[in-house]
Amino acid sequence: MTATHDVVIIGGGLVGASLAIALEGSGLGVAMVEAAPAAAMPAVFDERNLSFAEATVNALTALGVMQRLRAPTGAITRIHASRRGDFGRVVLEAADHGRAAFGQVVVARDFGEALEARLGEVAGLARHRGTRFTGFAADEDGHRVLELAGEGPSRLRARLVVAADGAASGVRDALGIPAIRHDYGQVLMVARLRAARAPDGTAYERLGDHGPTALLPRGDRAWGLVHGVAAAEAAAVQALDEAGFLARVQDAFGWRVGRLLGVGPRSAYPAVAVRAERTVAARAVLVGNAAQSIHPVGAQGFNLGLRDALILAELLRACAQAGGDPGDAALLASHAARRDEDRRRTLEFSNGLARLTANPEHGASLLRSVGLLALAALPGLQASLVGGAMGYRGDVPEACRTGAVR
């Protein structure tokens, strides 16, 4: 017989795993389909440095994940933003906005291990590992029928299917939901970096024609580097030896942390944005990168996806308490409506910032410089920017606001 679940989450990465944890104790039968086998971590849990906004830290603490991080996090107490070739800069201090920190820097690998530890405590969660979604069969009696391949079952039935399977979502394609794709022509090099000055809580973002060069304060007294290069130059940059690569980053970033001393293994990620034209279908919902993947400038991607998952968890928990149907069309419409403002404004902010900051034309330079000066001089403008960057935009999930899951 084909196993039946109330909710089947496709994807065991950052957002899918967080959703499974958020549904603990809801009374719903939850399953997670994970492509990675039991002995391996999903590829997303690598050496990337994740910037968790304050709202994200609140929520992950409520879910019991932050407490299971084994490596120290790096607090972001100050943000320093500037652009090569422009005048003006912005320095934002968390203390000026009544906060000890804007957020925390967490290494993706460490986060993955913490999620795995927490998932192991979730009673009743069915995990189908080493298993891939391949398509849908005909619906049966108010259930989606999923076809699978790999080590797990070949079929599952679900009252609700949650696509958390990334920017190249197979579930999104199978649902026939179109997606708009934009390639920024940039590749982002990510690595652990040592410098003469150890992190002091400052997150630096030095913008340039081919994307940002960011240094994030890790908790291990190293910096988390993100270095944007033109896609056509990416292979040559990746092939540089350590000295050549450090010289390139030093030239792009400057001397704000002194001489750059060493860099670890480098990973490369194309900067491509993908936005689904809609996020719900019959008995199905898209969350995280399956719904939208955005340029990492501004560090909003995972934070936005987590809020997708948390609003969905709120609705599903309330539905279960009322004895309702988790795949009900009205529930899914409510999810889309509640996520609309945050999703739209965050996408507009990220895309606009990526396009404007990489534009080398003189007019754009003047506009950016005026904007930096205005932002530095106007506390009200800063407060609006800071609130959104910290995750308080639109309809904010309760776990983000209060650190509680009900």
Instruction: Read off the CATH number of the domain in which 277 is found.
Output: 3.50.50.60
In a domain, 346, yes or no: yes
Q: Give me the number of domains the chain comprises.
A: 1
Tell me how crowded residue 259 is: count the other CB atoms within 10 A of its CB: 11
Of the chain, the percentage scoring pLDDT greater than 90 comes to 70
Determine the Cα–Cα distance for residues 396 and 196; give it in Å rounded to an integer. Answer: 40
Rg (CA), the chain: 21
Please check the confidence at residue 311 and state whether its pLDDT lies above 90: yes
26 located within any domain: yes
Rounded Cα distance, 294 and 279, in Å: 15
Sheet with strand 74-76: strands edge to edge = 49-53, 103-107, 74-76
- Show the beta-strand stretches assigned E in 231-266: 260-263
Instruction: State CA 345 to chain mean position distance.
Output: 15
Please indicate, yes or no, if residue 215 is contained in any of the structural domains. Answer: no
Please report whether residue 277 resides in a domain.
yes
Using CA atoms, how far apart are residues 34 and 216, in angstroms rounded to an integer? 30
Q: How far apart are CA 87 and CA 250, in angstroms?
A: 19
Q: At a CB cut-off of 8 Å and minimum separation 6, what does 235 contact?
A: none
pLDDT digits (tens, 9 = 90+) for 185-227: 999 999 999 999 999 999 998 887 788 899 999 999 999 999 9
- Give the helix ranges, DSSP H, for 358-404: 362-377, 379-389, 398-402
* Domain coverage including residue 73: 3-181+272-402
Tell me what the mean pLDDT of segment 308-316 comes to: 98
12-19: average pLDDT = 95
Q: Which pLDDT score is estimated for 313?
A: 98
Mean pLDDT on 151-159: 95
Task: Record the pTM.
Answer: 0.90
pLDDT beyond 70 at 86: no
Q: Is residue 199 part of a domain?
A: no
Residue 336 has pLDDT above 50, yes or no: yes
**279 occurs within a structural domain:** yes
Return the bridge partners of 156, or none.
3, 146
Q: Under the phi-then-psi rule, with left for phi > 0, alpha for psi from -120 to 50, and beta for the rest, what region is 288?
A: left
Residue 7 resides in a domain: yes
- Contact, 136 vs 145, CB < 8 A? yes
* Rounded CA separation 162/13 (Å): 13
Indicate whether 357 pLDDT > 60.
no
Helix axes 329-357, 301-321, angle to 10 degrees: 170
- Which pLDDT score is estimated for 90? 76
- Whole-angstrom Cα distance, residue 248 to residue 263? 12
* Residue 11 φ/ψ, nearest 5 degrees: 120, 125
263 within a domain of the structure (yes/no) = no
* Higher local confidence (pLDDT), 374 or 386: 386
CB burial of residue 158 (10 Å; 0-12, 13-18, 19+) = buried
Q: 186: part of which helix (H) or strand (E)?
A: strand 179-195
